[in-house]
Structure 1
């Protein structure tokens, strides 16, 4: 059987394998490097395959299921081949595998190494991997999503965990702190968030810890000092707070430490951390870490140190000499004195000394090094080779001639309808400053991709003419702007010199031309960088490929900038986000072209006025404005309605967003053009818009006929502002201007769940079972957060498919909080004004006004039925031809045939066991008795496989003996609900057990959906 399995594997992978039974004898089994066996079975007469290594064999085809017969396999290496298709029961790396990871691996008790990196795997990490005895788990560079399962913390044998370059979300599981044998944890380039768990203090065996490029927050934990074996520490690309803990001084085995962008609260600055024991350091990056201190002299004594980046701090004093440095970045500090002495060949050093106060005479030895950036490096001196090295350079009035710039970044001179774009083909850029021949502009670059290619690598990139098919929509003359680009590993600044002061339009053009074709693994990288203009961030985590919609596709962004000091600075900066993998040039800033044109006529320099005229003019202007304001107030133009004023007061104090003007949103949505309309709700239309900084938004415009007034509007803004969770829609801002009420949300690329389920057929096809299962879990996690985890305990009251939005990865996000109600402990609300949607409302809420969080659970159960069945519950009406979806579910439940509800479009491509579990969970959630419905936290555990569903079929609230009586059920459903719910004692206590005590009932005679705290005051000003 073993021979057959190996032979079958070789045949289907098109490998010339000539194995036979003799090759598995005790004498010859291990003679092959491809297959190793353990022949200790049956008194050494039976061999079991334990290792299969077909790496680098140029294999093609799919993995045969026969590999699942090798049940004693401990090592399987099929990397660096061209194998494609889904994984049956095995593992690969560097191939074209797609689909979910099968749970088979969790049942391979002997498996020690599982490497599935560099594939196209999707879905979640299987929970049952926690049952294995794996030592190395490498799932990096795939498209895995959702949260990291807690069960991974049960793999006590785990030594290496690599999950980088995926789309994983949520927080790091606390259970990972149980992995006391863990040597390496690499989680870089995901969407992880929150604080590093306190349980990680137990990871005392760690050698490598890399969480670069996520959304972690909070202070760097002091327990890092307990990781005495640590050799690699990478924290850049997050939102950690400084300073570094003093305990970091106890680490003495670190060879590489990369930390960037540490900020203090309220602009707090920090001292240089004590790293005196890290004598084995080879690479040290403390970039933009708010350090205001001297560079400690002991760094110069670290003989192994070759790469040092202390740029963008506030370092003072002189720089010590270094023994073996080859890369030194000191940009944007306040350093003085001489340039440090480096033992390396001065023509090979890579130095960025720009924007400091050095003495120029010490730079003489480096002036001919093409990889030395000395822009604005030095204090004023007559010895300067160039005025651009002066950090206090200024233009004379006779030089102020420039009011336009056109640069074809990385490309040749080209003329378009807009103007003539100047050539920018200088190949240098590791660390360099370039000034144009006419002295009107220049660029300053920092960083190096590959030290081995420091002299041969070009930082001006271009594509061949036959590769520009993505630019077909552009006029021929403009195509050239997108066929070239300038790149930089860390920082790229473009300057406009001696420009006239005034307001300008700055247009930046981008096209991702460095990645390979879409089918290549290299296309999976994601380049993320920030853009600053005049020191203000205008783009954050900008991803050219995502925004443009693919490779070799153009995208432009336009901004306004004011020039006051006769110079313009455009800064593209890599903060550590995105991929950072070979080949080079796939990370860091990239720009194809830039243009700068005046918006208003530039202001020429004028002579200064004396203090007396200035005071006279200022006083006159103030007096005039006071008179105008008084007249307008008397005429009534400045006295708005009280409700609007009160609403504005509350909105101004809300966190998480800002007040947009109506004019801004009109421009963003092209005057609320119908072509931009992406939805219509009970409160008004929703439009797609684009802000000047390129951010795509969704604008909810409340119609004049809307029942949602300013009170509900403020309520919705307040609730969303107070709530931050991956499965809740993110509020960017709002507008209460010109009698308009508008909400500005993050844009959801895949519209609503209702649109995906009940909209165009081609979109519904995308909702495979994996995505539907993911959506169920996402909604559940969002509701669990609202009910139990957030500071404000919220009852949504209107959970339905139209209020579930889907982002580009089909992550579910709950929206529309206009009817949200604060859940006050265990109180049950009895209200007279019901809010919600027919077909989704719980019976006790719809008929009696009893409101608890279990009303949302009921609505969630209906949504589960819709997701699995693909049928719209709200569209069912009791007539001669149709029944409600829940009615049908009750009928099929009694027949024991719930799986008949599964959407026919799925065919057989769904997990029947999981589908049955979700349907049973839906029936449990829609139990007529709220006390028998589960809490949402319990639902999450069930959906994630952490808790078993104890399912007992609930009775329908009316008689249902078979499918043939479905029409009668539909016609009687509402009347039966009314009669049964109106009795003081329900006819079926097991189904209708409310158990509400009189003193727990809060009655509001005229309920409006507003949030109050325990004192009865609105907490919106305090959220």
Structure 2
């Protein structure tokens, strides 16, 4: 019953007992109709219904508009909402006017895949917007600033770009949660205007710069989190203004100490997590007045000196983490008074003295490993709820158990020489090696040796937010690998995980670490937006920093094996450590920290096994020689039978995998025409599906083209040596008889040409951040080819059809059939011109003068196309020869921004657009000497190097037309010459559809239509 019902009951309570029961029932029904939503008479205003339709279209949310959005029916209000899931639209209705307005939208855990809609701004009464855990992209619309919002949560999406300063105009805002996205730039000064703000959560983004002083105005703040961002600067003193602050999380940033003395005034603090900074004075923060403190994490802050006694007076503490510091002295005696404590982590310090008896008999979880304790009697065991591994300073005192001593010395003869561990899983045999089971569930503060004594692990940390408290991960993604047995499980840890190889023979070893990201998925759900980052050290030396398994393996559910060599004399230590970075609540709270699937350690020397006699060894050697000789003879006979057309292939040193023709036929359904996705000059391109479900693109070389054979040799020789996130990944090849095949990764979003200029069904509306990301990706790929790879390579054919886009619209360069190695000499004259007119540098098209600056020119043209949405090779009206010509004219007129694609509207940064256009003109300078290198281009796009304004004179149409005709003539002559020499250039792009550089069906804005006619 509503308020009106209650008032009616009061008003009519006296005479009600005299009314017939039927009349009483009807009156109650009538009164009940005046509840918030009425009896169907109240209705949402039409303007907001229209806004919801637009919002639903952009979000990919299928609402049922046959029912009124305020009816609480037909899916507009789902009663079974949880902390992780909600699908609710809530209205406020005027019972007099019967007009309703949307005041709250909760769409949590919906896996929505659309773009963040600007149209929310049309819901002018909206106070709460929660889009937690979806797959939304785009940037935060500035138009939202007009709304009377009190709560905004975009946690767990793919939102990019900067935090708009306009959010500082929403002075009603009390909660702003932008955690686990891809936001960049600095925190806007304008956020300091949000004086009613209680919660500001910016964790796990890519925010930079220092905390603005204006945040000191947020005196109502109770929860502030910036962990997992590269924010720099010192801890600001204005934090003392936040008297109501209860939770502070600053883990994994680039900030520096010391803590300001004013910290002592934050008496309301209950949770404080600060970790992983450098610098400071090593002093403890003044926490003595924080009597309500329940969780205190001061990890890896270079704190020195003794542990202050006031820590033992914080009697409400549940969690205390002071690990990885330089603390000295004894454990304070008043720690025994911490009755509420559950976890104490003091690992990796320099604590000394005797370990108190109450700790040795405690049933709570304590980690004192890696310290310098002394005294007797020493504990008799290293296992239990107290982790004491390597906690004593002694290395040779036989009265102290081996596992307690520093560096875990071997108590007997070092007889082991290899290790194979299936971390978190059962015993399994792979390639003849038995990977031992590792199924212990201990992990909070534990030292767990193997049954055979060959290895052990030490685990520190608790997934406080995760009630499961599981330290073994099980596969949640599709495993795209040939031998998945090692990757169905993994051991994980929220802080520090160490594996030890015990009693290993002295010598040089190869350590293989087997990783696969099995807790995130690779689909379009919020399960795929998680990021796991951690460090790896071997024998105390860091070998991997901010290691991201999924990024290194090019996706989830894919294995990546990292190999290292190290010298071992007794004990091998492999350390996996979380340093506060990456996401922590995707797909649920408590999913972060290091994860390892398997470990193998093999000797690089002849181990002392004590088993084989000299005669047996000689017999094995002799037999091996005979087998090798037979193999050599068979290979020689096989190569002799190959036809002469494959000579070049035989001489090529392939650095790639080989597939059988049978495998490829199965993947493409015997090259079914239905799977054909393109046609190059050498032959068709097919889409294939491997047995594990992964998609591939297969280039099939035509058996009629000797030239295609040469292109095949060139391309396979080039790409097999290249591995970079912005190059299309080369999986391998197949060479059987006359069948020559290249196998690449499949690119879901086709080519840049298709996205910008293709038919309507292939085009995508690219926002400004995505265009910038594509330019930066192409630049990084070219910088790798020119300057970073072992082979210095000039691509020679950079154009939109050779830039492919994956499912996240990351740009990847393809088609190395025309690529040329940049040999010893820095420049050379090419007698064979290869490329595409409109994108070829003038010095190369006219004179055959080829350097890596030719690719820089092509990049400049492509950048102009990306910003403008106009194809360079479509000739417009006679005023301009082509897009570059028009750009030069607009630059001279000071109207360069007229070139920006009108479809962007106002949703782009004019400053960034002008910088990118100037950079494009700088790259397209007629003089190759004045063009920047690609590494400089990357630095400019990253904002690390300013973009100078290029000086380019307007190109006269007549002279340019003559130059184009001359270029075409030269190109035609070289083509004729190349045909006679079987050296004709071909387009070997791999994409979803084969299209022209600028398709006739391009749909661009009417303002630019003259460039596509």
TM-score (normalizing by structure 1): 0.58
For 1:257 and 1:762, how far apart are their aligned partners in 2?
Answer: 53
How far apart are 1:99 and its partner, in Å? 0.4
Q: CA deviation at 1:596?
A: 0.6
Q: Which of these residues, 127, 147, 154, is aligned with residue 139 of structure 1? A: 154
Structure 2 Cα separation of the partners of residues 400 and 590 of structure 1 = 29
Q: Which residue of 2 aligns with 1:590?
A: 595
1:577 counterpart (581, 601, 608): 581
The answer as to 2:993 corresponding to 1:974 is: no
Q: Distance in 2 between matches of 1:375 and 1:593?
A: 22
Asked whether the equivalents of residues 445 and 461 of structure 2 are also in contact (C-alpha less than 8 Å), the reply is yes
* Stretch moving more, 208-217 or 415-424: 415-424
How much has 1:149 moved relative to structure 2?
A: 1.8
Question: In 2, distance between residues paired with 1:937 and 1:178?
Answer: 36
**1:930 is aligned to 2:892:** yes
With over 3 angstroms needed to count, the CA separation of the structure-2 counterparts of 1:514 and 1:146, relative to structure 1, is same
Equivalent position SS for 2:152: strand
Task: Check 1:333–1:111 CA distance in 2 against 1; reply closer, same or farther (3 A cut).
Answer: same
> Which residue of 119, 125, 134 maps to 1:119?
134
1:300-359 Cα shifts (integer Å, max 9, x gaps): 00111111111111110112232232100011100012446879x965411111011224
Q: 1:144 to 1:298 in 2, by over 3 A?
A: same
Rounded to whole Å, the distance in 2 between the matches of 1:946 and 1:772 is: 8
Counterpart residue number, 1:473: 482
Say whether 1:329 aligns with 2:334.
no
Q: What is aligned with 2:425?
A: 411
Bigger mean CA offset, 937-946 vs 304-313: 937-946
Aligned to 1:810: 809
Checking the alignment, whether the CA contact within 8 Å between 1:756 and 1:763 is kept in structure 2 is: no
Secondary structure in 1 aligned to 2:416?
Answer: coil
- Cross-structure match for 2:461: 447
Note if 1:299 corresponds to 2:315: no
How far did residue 112 of structure 1 move? Answer: 1.0
Offset at 1:532? 1.5
Alpha carbons of structure 1 residues 433 and 205: separation in structure 2 relative to 1, 3 Å: same
Q: Quickly say closer, same or farther: Cα 1:371–1:758, change in 2 above 3 A.
A: same
Residues 1:485 and 1:385: Cα distance change in structure 2 (over 3 Å)? farther
Deviation by residue 1:507-539 (Cα, 9 ceiling, x = unmatched): 111233445795765454333222222222222
* Contact 1:384–1:390 (Cα < 8 Å) also in 2: no
> Secondary structure of the residue that 1:217 maps to in structure 2?
coil
In structure 2, the residue matched to 1:756 is 752
Deviation, structure 1 residue 209: 1.0
Q: Distance in 1 between matches of 2:726 and 2:881?
A: 43
Residue matched to 2:693: none
How many residue pairs get aligned? The number is: 710
Separation in structure 2 between the aligned mates of residue 528 and residue 472 of structure 1, nearest angstrom? 22
Equivalent residues of 2:478, 2:521 under 8 A apart = no
CA RMSD of aligned residues (A): 5.8
1:616-1015 aligned at under 5 Å gives the runs 687=719, 756-757=752-753, 768-770=764-766, 774-775=770-771, 809-810=808-809, 863-865=863-865, 869=869, 872-873=871-872, 876=873, 883-884=874-875, 886-887=876-877, 927-928=889-890, 930-934=892-896, 943-944=906-907, 974-975=957-958
Secondary structure of 1:501 counterpart: strand
The whole-number CA distance in structure 2 between the counterparts of 1:761 and 1:948 is 25
Asked if residue 433 in structure 1 is aligned to residue 447 in structure 2, the reply is yes
**Alpha-carbon offset, residue 165 of structure 1:** 1.4
* Structure-1 residue corresponding to 2:118: 103
Distance 1:372 1:263 in 2: 29
Which of 236, 239, 252 does residue 224 from structure 1 map onto?
239
Equivalent residue of 1:233, what SS?
strand
* Unaligned residue ranges in structure 1 (runs of 5+): 1-20, 42-47, 53-59, 605-665, 701-747, 784-797, 816-835, 847-855, 877-882, 893-918, 952-971, 980-1023
Match of 2:298, SS state, is strand
Q: Deviations over 1:473-503 (max 9, x none)?
A: 22xxxx4322232222211100112223332
Q: Deviations over 1:139-184 (max 9, x none)?
A: 1112222222222122111111001112222222222222222111
Distance in 1 between the 2:858 and 2:891 partners? 10
Q: Which residue of 1 aligns with 2:952?
A: none
User: Which residue of 1 is the match for residue 508 of structure 2?
Assistant: 503
Q: For 1:230-271, what per-residue CA distance to the aligned partner results, in whole angstroms no more than 9, with x for missing partners?
A: 21111112222333334333322211111111112xxx7622
* Distance of 2:305 and 2:812 partners within structure 1: 45
Q: Which residue of 1 aligns with 2:298?
A: 286
**Secondary structure at 1:240's aligned position in 2?**
coil
Q: Which residue of 308, 311, 314 maps to 2:320?
A: 308
The range that moved more, 551-560 or 922-931, is 922-931
Distance 2:778 2:189 in 1: 20
Match of 1:566 among 570, 573, 576: 570
**Residue 395 of structure 1 aligns with which residue?**
410
Aligned pair in 2 of structure 1 residues 933, 860: CA closer, same or farther (>3 Å)?
farther
Listed as ranges, the gaps of 5+ residues in structure 2 are 1-25, 53-59, 90-100, 610-651, 660-681, 683-695, 700-710, 730-743, 780-796, 815-834, 846-855, 915-954, 963-1013
Deviation (angstroms), 1:115: 1.0
| Distance (whole Å) between structure 2 residues aligned to residue 403 and residue 503 of structure 1 | 10
Structure 1 SS opposite 2:262: helix
Q: Distance in 1 between matches of 2:119 and 2:28?
A: 28
Pairs within 5 Å for 1:507-522:
507-514=512-519, 521-522=526-527
Which of 519, 530, 543 in structure 2 is aligned with 1:525?
530
Quote how far apart the aligned CAs of 1:294 are.
Answer: 1.3
- Report the CA distance shift for 1:769/1:339 in structure 2 as closer, same or farther (over 3 A): same
Number of the residue aligned with 1:318: 330
How far is the alpha carbon of 1:229 from its aligned partner?
A: 2.0
CA contact (8 A) 2:381 2:401 kept: no
**Contact kept? 1:689, 1:697, Cα under 8 Å:** no
Could you tell me whether the CA contact under 8 Å between 2:322 and 2:345 is conserved in 1?
yes
CA contact (8 A) 1:752 1:801 kept: no
2:942 aligns with none
**Residue 541 of structure 2 aligns with which residue?**
536
Q: For residues 950 and 512 of structure 1, what CA distance do their matches in structure 2 show?
A: 37
Listed one character per residue, the Cα deviations across residues 26-51 of structure 1 (whole Å, up to 9, x for unaligned) are 75343789999899x9xxxxxx99xx
The answer as to whether partners of 1:677 and 1:685 remain within 8 angstroms in 2 is no
Following superposition, the deviation at residue 131 of structure 1 comes to 1.6
**Does residue 370 of structure 1 match 2:379?**
no
**What's 1:239 paired with?**
254
Could you say if the C-alpha distance between residues 766 and 22 of structure 1 is closer, same or farther in structure 2, counting changes exceeding 3 Å? Answer: farther
Residue in structure 1 matched with residue 825 of structure 2 by the alignment? none
Question: Cα gap change, 1:249/1:578 in structure 2, threshold over 3 Å: closer, same or farther?
Answer: same
Structure with larger RCO (C-alpha < 8 A, sep 6+): 2
Checking the alignment, whether the CA contact within 8 Å between 1:756 and 1:767 is kept in structure 2 is: no
Task: With the length of structure 2 as denominator, give the TM-score of the two structures.
Answer: 0.59
Among 366, 389, 402, the residue aligned to 1:351: 366
Kept after mapping to 1: 8 A contact 2:538/2:573: yes
SS in structure 1 at match of 2:490: strand
CA positional deviation for 1:100: 1.1
Between the aligned partners of 1:891 and 1:413, the Cα distance in structure 2 is: 69
Q: Report the Cα distance in structure 1 between the residues aligned to 2:160 and 2:129, rounded to whole angstroms.
A: 18
Q: Secondary structure at the match of 2:302?
A: coil
Match of 2:143 in 1: 128
| Other structure's SS at 1:493 match | strand
Instruction: Between 274-283 and 348-357, report the one with greater CA deviation.
Output: 274-283
Q: CA deviation at 1:105?
A: 1.4
Residue 199 to residue 226, structure 1, CA distance change in 2 (3 Å): same
- How far apart, CA to CA, are the structure 1 residues paired with 2:728 and 2:129? 46
